[in-house]
Amino acid sequence: MKAFLAVCVLFVAAGAAKAKRIVGGQDTTIENYPWIVQLDTYNTWSMTWSQGCAANILTATYVLSAAHCFESGQAHAPHRRIRAGSTYRNTGGVVHYISTVLNHPEYRVASRFDGDITLVKLSTPLIFTSKIQRGTIIVQDGYIPDGLRVVHAGWGTTTWGGVAARILQDVEVNVINNELCASRYLQLDRNSIVTKNMICVGLLDVGGRDACQGDSGGPLYYEELIIGIVSWGHRCANDTFPGVNTAVASYTNWIVANAV
C-alpha cells in the first residue's frame, strides 16, 4: 500500500504568500515550516556531521530534495542523514538515517540541472509533531503565474561565500517569467539552460533576496504548498540572474508513484 502523500491543486488569487520576509531574510522557527528538514553529510576526515542541503517531508518515510545534493560520494546512504524538528542548524530535533536515494531518471539529460529532484527514503519513520509535519506538493502540471509572491526557507549562507545561518531563515521573492530568465542565463553562459521544468525567483533588476549555498534541496513555498526545490543560480541574490528552482509540478506524478 502506498503511504499517504498530500497533493494539492494550486488556486491562485490576488493575495500574497504567507507574510514572511537565506539572503535578505529573517529569523523564523521550525513551527512555521514543520515540513523542512536539514540534510547532513558525514565528513570522513573530520569524523563529524554537518548540514549542507535541505529536504521536504512527504511521508513518514520519504523526503524530497535535489538530485545534485546526492552526486558522486555524497550519494552514499550511510554517510547521509536528516535532522527534523529543529529551528537550529546542526543541533536539536531528531535525527534519522537514510536507507536509499532515487534521483529522477532525467536528471542532467536535457540540461545540467534539468530533473534536479530526488526521493530519499529514511531508515526509520518520522513521528509527526507540531514541529514535524507532512508537506503538501502541487498537483502535476499545476500553473505558477509570473509575479507570484513565494517564500524560501533554509539554513544556507546569508551572503554568497559567507557563513551558514545558525537559525532557520525565510525570505519572500517573486516568480520571474521563465522565458525572460532563460534568455538572461544564456547571455551568461550557453550551458546555463533554464528549462520548462524550472521556476525562476528573485527580485529582478533589484536583487538582495534569494536562497544561497546550503539551501539546495529545500523548499519554495506558495503559502504552505511546496511548488519548488532549490536548485541552482549565479551566485546568490543577483539582480540580473534570478535563483532557479526545480518545478515540482513537472514531477508530481513521478513522486506519487515512487514515494511508497
Q: What is the pLDDT of residues 4-44, one digit of tens each?
A: 577 765 533 333 333 333 999 999 999 999 999 999 999 88
Spell out the domains of the chain, with CATH numbers in brackets: 14-30+135-249 (2.40.10.10), 34-134+252-258 (2.40.10.10)
Report d(CA 119, CA 146) in Å as an integer: 28
Report which of residues 191 and 72 the model is more confident about: 191
The Cα–Cα gap between 84 and 39 comes to 9
Q: Which residue has better confidence, 78 or 109?
A: 109
Joined grid coordinates for residue 187: 547571455
pLDDT 10s digits, 111-133: 999 999 999 999 999 999 999 99
CA distance 193 to 245: 12
Which residues are tagged catalytic? Answer: 68, 116, 216
Q: What percent of the chain has pLDDT over 90?
A: 83
Contacts of 190 (CB under 8 A, 6+ apart): none
The overall average pLDDT reported for the chain is: 91
- Residue 83: strand pairing partners: 38, 95
Local structure of 69: helix, strand or coil: helix
The residue length of the chain stands at: 260
What is the mean pLDDT of the segment spanning 202-218? 96
Residue closest to 12 by CA, chosen among 149, 137, 140: 149
Average pLDDT over residues 155-160: 94
Query: According to the model, what pLDDT value does residue 75 have?
Result: 67
Give the predicted TM-score (pTM) of the model: 0.92
